[in-house]
Amino acid sequence: MLIVMERSATQAHIAAVVDTVKRLGLTPQPIPGGNRVAIGVLGNQGYVDEEPFRDLPGIQELIHVTKPYKLVSRDFHPADSAIGVGEVFVGWGLEPVVIAGPCTVESREQVLETARAVKAAGARILRGGAFKPRTGPHSFQGLGYEGLEYLAEAGRAAGLPIVTEVMRIDQVEPVAAVADCLQVGARNMQNFDLLKEVGRIGKPVLLKRGISATLEEFLAAAEYILLEGNDQVILCERGIRTFERALRNTLDLGVVPFLRQVTHLPVIVDPSHALGRRDLVAPMAKAAVVVGAAGVMVEVHPDPTHALCDGPQSLDPEAFARLMRELRATSRTES
Q: List binders of a copy of itself among 208-237 (CB under 8 A).
A: 211-212, 214-217, 220, 223-224, 227
| 109: amino acid identity, one letter | E
Q: Note whether 49 binds a copy of itself by CB under 8 A.
A: yes
The answer to whether 286 contacts a copy of itself (rule: CB under 8 A) is yes
Under the binding rule (CB under 8 A), the answer on residue 291 touching a copy of itself is: yes
Q: Does 240 bind a copy of itself (CB under 8 A)?
A: yes
CB of 206 to a copy of itself, least distance (A): 18
253 is a contact residue toward a copy of itself (CB under 8 A): yes
C-beta of residue 324 within 8 angstroms of C-beta of residue 300: no
State the Cα–Cα distance between residues 228 and 231, nearest whole angstrom.
Answer: 9
CB of 49 to a copy of itself, least distance (A): 7
| Integer angstrom CA distances of residue 276 from 76, 194, 251, 283 | 37, 27, 11, 13
Binding map of a copy of itself across residues 177-196, x = CB under 8 A, - = no contact: ----------xx-xxxx---
Strands, DSSP E only, in 209-274? 233-237, 267-269
Q: What is the DSSP string of 108-152?
A: HHHHHHHHHHHHHHT--EEE-BSS---SSTTS----THHHHHHHH
Q: What's the CA gap between 118 and 302, in Å, rounded? A: 10
Stretch binding a copy of itself (CB under 8 A), from 66-74, 92-100, 173-181, 317-325: 66-74
Rank residues 157 and 211 by Cβ distance to a copy of itself and give the closer one.
211
* Least Cβ distance, residue 180 to a copy of itself (angstroms): 24
Of residues 263, 264, 266, the one with CA closest to residue 237: 266
Give the footprint of a copy of itself on residues 105-164 (CB under 8 A). 133-139
Taking CB under 8 A as the rule, does residue 77 contact a copy of itself?
Answer: no
Select 127 or 278, whichever has its Cβ closest to a copy of itself: 278
Q: Compute the distance between CA of residue 129 and CA of residue 101 in angstroms, rounded to an integer.
A: 9
- Contact call for residue 176 and a copy of itself (CB under 8 A): no
- Does 202 interact with a copy of itself (rule: CB under 8 A)? no
Q: Are 117 and 317 in contact (CB under 8 A)?
A: yes
Q: Does the protein bind a copy of itself through residue 329 (CB under 8 A)?
A: yes
**66 binds a copy of itself, rule: CB under 8 A:** yes
